[in-house]
Amino acid sequence: MKIIMAAAECAPFAKAGGLADVMGALPKELSRLGHEIMVVVPKYSLIAAEYNAEFVLKESVEFSFKGQQKTFGVFQYDQAGVEFLFVENDSYFKRDQIYGQPDDAERYAFFNRAVLEIVQREQQPPDVVHVHDWHTAAIPFLLKEDPRYASVQAVKTILTIHNLQFQGKFSKQTFLENFEMEEHYYDEGIVSWKGNFNALKTGISYVDKVTTVSPTYRNEILTEFYGEKLHTLLQEKEQDLIGILNGIDTGVYNPATDLAIEREFDVMNLEEKQVNKRAVQLKAGLPERGDVPLLTMISRLAGQKGIDVLQEVLPALLAEQEVQFVLLGSGEEKYEQFFKGLAADFPTKVYVHVGFDEAFAHLLYAGADIFLMPSHFEPCGLSQLISMRYGTVPVANKTGGLKDTVIEYDESLKSGNGFLSDFQQDEPYDVALNRCLSFYQQPEHWEAIKKNGMEGDYSWSRSAAEYAKLYERLI
């Protein structure tokens, strides 16, 4: 099959979150299954020079956008059997960050049109156009309703929701100006929702199938609590809503071959993990102690991630127990200040790195003992998968993909790979964390938990096969 995917970010070229990791890994796995995969993303100026140097200008495309003739370059980069195409237009994508620009509606409307121009210009049309999140969610609507794309109107479409919270809400005027479609689409509620143009809602309404990134999250978003005010629409599409669990790129995240960590290791020589723990402690300026549990969190600092839970739990834990904690992340100012304050209050126990450092993230996964994920909701979560791959034990809240992948440890069976709280059932996070810490003091059990995690299959192979079956059913 021929599949064209479109997204706003893609690892390793441009990354803001988990969407990029999916776009960097899933297409490669689909290619291994024998399919022809093309991935279209914006050519941001923040893409590293090492990749830019390898890009080849494929063509320059001129088309009408907002009543004017616009031009974009299409740059090609082939990797692992996947054709990556980058849409270049400096006025929209020469920015120092991916999201959060005042003209995001216009930027991604332009990108949607550019993707459709690429689809239309293919000698052999794709079997499926697979779009991701709100930034590309209007593509199925434009494909079906704009007569300029009549030649490819029959192409099947899929939308993957990576996080329902982000929907691309804009005013009626913004819709009319940037999407160049007739007013009745808005007035009749076809593209509008709760008083705004809603890009994600538009995509959900028009695509042939909607997927999301874990089976549990699929069920959760059908409820009012998790549905972000789109639950009634999703309930109408329930038969076409499928949950497929994300995987991780096991080539990138492999402790046996990872050159970003201090010492490679695998499940057969777990003692080498201690070398990485000492490297983290050295970098963080913390006492180099192998007997003290090292906790970490690598995260966007937002309400979704349960930082409020850690505000309640961590100060008492650090005051009462011999533990260390290292944070890598950035986000809301109030949360950054909380962690900075924690480091000031506990200088020999806490280290905070505000920002992101890919190499340090790998070292933390390899060197930490326990990974904290108290998320209030988590569509899939990749950090718990990566941490288990590196023998780091997750303590997570039972929601979304965390519920699907973290299995509570059973000491009688020596089964399970982590520990779970359940905020919906009043099972507090500190209880789960203390349960985890109690097993840290029992080497036989602790080794079993780590090995159970490391021996899990977190690759994309099973999930990619599910996507391939979905494409086949569609066409």
Which residues participate in the annotated binding site for ADP-alpha-D-glucose?
A: 15
* Bridge partners, 156 (sequence order): 128
379 close to 161: Cβ distance less than 8 angstroms: yes
| Cα gap 167→11, rounded to integer Å | 22
| Cα gap 127→155, rounded to integer Å | 6
Other beta carbons within 10 angstroms of residue 45's beta carbon come to: 13
| Cα gap 416→133, rounded to integer Å | 32
| Cα gap 262→366, rounded to integer Å | 9
Known binding-site residues equal 15
3-state SS, 372-431, equals EECCCCCCCCCHHHHHHHCCCEEEEECCHHHHHHCCECECCCCECCEEEEEHHHCECHHH
Give the residue from 30, 162, 155, 10 showing the smallest Cα distance to 84: 10
CA dist 358 → 114, 259, 470 (Å): 31, 12, 33
Q: What's the CA angle centered on 339, arms 95 and 354, to 5 degrees?
A: 25
| Cα gap 413→294, rounded to integer Å | 26
Q: Peptide bond before 12: cis, by omega within 30 degrees of 0?
A: yes
344 Cβ neighbours under 8 A, 6+ residues apart:
none
Phi, psi angle pair for 111, to nearest 5°: -65, -40
249 close to 218: Cβ distance less than 8 angstroms: no
Other beta carbons within 10 angstroms of residue 263's beta carbon come to: 18
| Cα gap 125→288, rounded to integer Å | 59
* DSSP string computed for 146-169: -GGGGGGTT-EEEEEES-TT---E
| Cα gap 459→29, rounded to integer Å | 9
